[in-house]
Amino acid sequence: QLQLQESGPGLVKPSETLSLTCTVSGGSISTNIYYWGWIRQPPGKGLEWIGTISYSGSIYYNPSLKSRVTISVDTSKNQFSLKVNSVTAADTAVYYCTRVWHSDPSWLDPWGQGILVTVSS
Amino acid sequence: QSALTQPPSASGSPGQSVTISCTGTSSDVGGYNYVSWYQQHPGKAPKLMIYEVSKRPSGVPDRFSGSKSGNTASLTVSGLQTEDEAYYYCNSYAGTNNFGVFGGGTKLTVL
């Protein structure tokens, strides 16, 4: 059974870089059938798609975040990562990683448990 | 990028049916049959309930169904049960420059 687990600092200072890693277990990240994505959810608010990456490195970013976001994949570690630059309080959210079916990019399953990242000095 | 429009709340009594709408544009919901629905209980990760507008993943009760007409997708929950009380989010593909756009979410209350 495929599982995803987010990891990284839970507290980031304003203007610094938020860095998270998603570790995939129970299956290989190197597949042409699935992509891998990041979604976030500010406290008490809705879901926001951040970006999606294939194991071969094709990347798709939310246009509203593209200038500050970098997503990468490390097939040797079965992980993919997220970096958000120049963070502000508005980037405070639960960050989820998920698997994306390439035939229907709205298909997201399973999800990691999520990690709360707070931006505060 | 604008979020898809969902009603903030919906409700029904046990056994009844309720439908939640998700309105977008011809660039997302209306342009592709790639609409999915997610159920989220408080403090939990979202769970896929419907994909490709109307398909159910294995394990999702057939009480949940999806449809689409024009730029509006809908999720119908029949035979409401107390455990259906949760937030529901729609998600649509919107092209290679915009892989996913979510609705604002609907809180379903089972009275």
Other beta carbons within 10 angstroms of residue B106's beta carbon come to 22
Cα-only R_g, chain A: 13
Tokens of B107: 């809180």
Q: Is B39 on the interface with A (CB under 8 A)?
A: no
Range B76-104 average pLDDT: 94
Q: Is A13 on the interface with B (CB under 8 A)?
A: no
Mean pLDDT across chain A: 95
Q: What is the DSSP letter of B103?
A: B
- The B residues from 50 to 79 touching A (CB cutoff 8 Å) are 51-52, 57
Q: How confident is the model at residue B96 (pLDDT cuts 50, 70, 90)?
A: confident
Residue-wise burial string across A39-77, b where 16 or more C-beta atoms lie within 10 A, e elsewhere: bbbeeeebbbbbbbbbbeeebbbbeebeebbebebeeee
Q: Is B105 in contact with A46 (Cβ distance < 8 A)?
A: yes
Among A3, A5, A47, which would you mutate to test the B interface (most chain B Cβ atoms within 10 Å of its Cβ)? A47
Contact A51, A59 (CB under 8 A): yes
Query: What's the pLDDT score for residue B97?
Result: 78
**Percent of chain A, pLDDT > 90?**
92
Query: What's the pLDDT score for residue B2?
Result: 58
Weakest mean pLDDT among A15-24, A37-46, A62-71, B95-104: B95-104
Range A8-14 average pLDDT: 97
Q: Closest-CA residue in chain A for B93?
A: A106
